[in-house]
Chain A
Amino acid sequence: MVSEGLRSVIEVARYRGRFGQLQWALHRLSGLGVVLFLSLHVIDTATVYFAPSAYTFFVSLYKNPFFGLLEIGLAAAVIYHAMNGLRLVIMDFWPALWEKQPQARFLVWISFAVLWVPTAAVMFRNIVLHVIK
């Protein structure tokens, strides 16, 4: 039932696809990670209405530096998925641009760095400040 699908995942690791395959795999993994987080986040935020004391509990949990670091990882997943996704949307609506694939990949990584590095720096600084206090 699923075995053909599972075997194909192993083949993805074995096939030496160049950057196209890596970008697709990262897009899929980041998407799965973000949708999993989003499901939990909708529930924990909905407690402001359904059970406000639970919200206070969740928020205190997220102030833990371990969660802070996870959030920096989440930021990476969201930003990568967004930038790579933007490349896909542009190329899907202008297929002639697929010829410029090498430059587009480069731009994805550049825009990822431009957005994520300062974000991660600010978030990390906040964690450190909070821990020191």
Chain B
Amino acid sequence: MELTLRIRRFNPETDTKPHWEEYTIDADPDQKLLDALLYVKDHLYGTLTLRKSCAQGICGSDAMRINGQNGLACRVLIKQVNTPVISIEPLYGLPLIKDLVVDMEPFWKWYRAIMPWLVNDEPAPEKERLQSAEQLARYDDSTKCILCAACTTSCPPFWANGNNYVGPASIVQAHRFIFDSRDRATAERLNIMGQAFGVWKCRTVYNCTEACPRGIRITEHIGEVKRAISLGMPKE
């Protein structure tokens, strides 16, 4: 089928601002959008710049805005988008480097700020630290995060004030440890989440949950953290 990719391009060496470019190709509707983009890069315009790695929805490298909604280019099939012209832009809310590549450093900075490591200084048991299925179920969903930044860059409060908000991804990562029965830094984590740059900047817009390519129930988990801070941790 004939497919037109309308891509927002920006070359920092020659352009003063981004602009749209259109590329019409012959595409297979069962293919991924990433395949179409790589076809343009490999056969038409080698200068097209994007990030990709595993190309199967695990590494989170190719998050971008597709027809106005954030998603992973390697998880979206052309027939799912189902429009003759597909518009593709970089994620909004992080500094633009070139074409579809954004600077992820502000995203990592907020990730580091939430202490993304297990804290448990008790003497190590002989084998594993045991956990029941119920205990796992409390945070299992938030372990699925692949740090693709699709959620954080779909968040209007983050767009407006990204320097003062951790963003949904960091809260999901914090949730993963707060509700992990093996972690012992709950009070510290909740204190970080309760700061002005933490959960209280969330306005429950719900874009994050809709953007997440892993189907994580982000708004629900942010809500669980808000409840834990204001009403106390739920009984195990």
- Chain A: residues with CB nearer than 8 A to chain B? 4-5, 7-9, 11-12, 14-18, 20-21, 23-24, 28, 88, 91-93, 95-96, 98-99, 101
CB contact list, B131-179 vs A, under 8 A? 154, 156, 159-162
Contact B156 A12 (CB under 8 A): yes
Q: Assess whether B197 is interfacial by the CB under 8 Å rule.
A: no
**Contacts A18-B210, A93-B227; is A11 near B159 (CB within 8 Å)?**
yes
- Bound-complex Cα distance A24 to B162 (A): 19
Q: Assess whether B189 is interfacial by the CB under 8 Å rule.
A: no
For residue A24, which residues in chain B have a CB less than 8 angstroms away from its CB? Answer: 156, 203-206
**Distance from A5 Cβ to chain B, minimum over Cβ atoms (Å):** 5
Q: Which of B65, B206, B223, B226 contacts A20 (CB 8 A)?
A: B206
> Contact string, B204-217, partner A, CB cutoff 8 A, digits 1/0?
11110110000001
For residue B53, which residues in chain A have a CB less than 8 angstroms away from its CB? Answer: none
Q: Assess whether B188 is interfacial by the CB under 8 Å rule.
A: no
Contact B220 A96 (CB under 8 A): yes
**Distance from A119 Cβ to chain B, minimum over Cβ atoms (Å):** 27
- Chain B: residues with CB nearer than 8 A to chain A? 65, 67-69, 92, 154, 156, 159-162, 203-207, 209-210, 217, 219-221, 223-224, 226-227
- Bound-complex Cα distance A130 to B162 (A): 52
Residues of A contacting B: mostly: helix
Contact A92 B220 (CB under 8 A): no
**Distance from B232 Cβ to chain A, minimum over Cβ atoms (Å):** 13
**Contacts A8-B160, A20-B205; is A98 near B67 (CB within 8 Å)?**
no
- Bound-complex Cα distance A16 to B220 (A): 21
For residue B68, which residues in chain A have a CB less than 8 angstroms away from its CB? Answer: 14-16
Contact A21 B160 (CB under 8 A): no
Q: Which of A5, A8, A9, A95 contacts B224 (CB 8 A)?
A: A95
Can you list 6 A-B contacts (CB < 8 A)? A4-B162, A17-B206, A20-B210, A88-B204, A91-B204, A98-B219
For residue A5, which residues in chain B have a CB less than 8 angstroms away from its CB? Answer: 160-161
- Bound-complex Cα distance A17 to B159 (A): 14
For residue B156, which residues in chain A have a CB less than 8 angstroms away from its CB? Answer: 8, 11-12, 15, 21, 24
- In the complex, which residue of chain B has the Cβ closest to the Cβ of A28? B203
- Bound-complex Cα distance A82 to B209 (A): 24
- In the complex, which residue of chain A has the Cβ closest to the Cβ of B67? A16
Contact A98 B205 (CB under 8 A): no
**Contacts A8-B159, A99-B217; is A17 near B210 (CB within 8 Å)?**
yes
- Bound-complex Cα distance A14 to B162 (A): 18
- Bound-complex Cα distance A41 to B206 (A): 33
Contact A15 B92 (CB under 8 A): yes
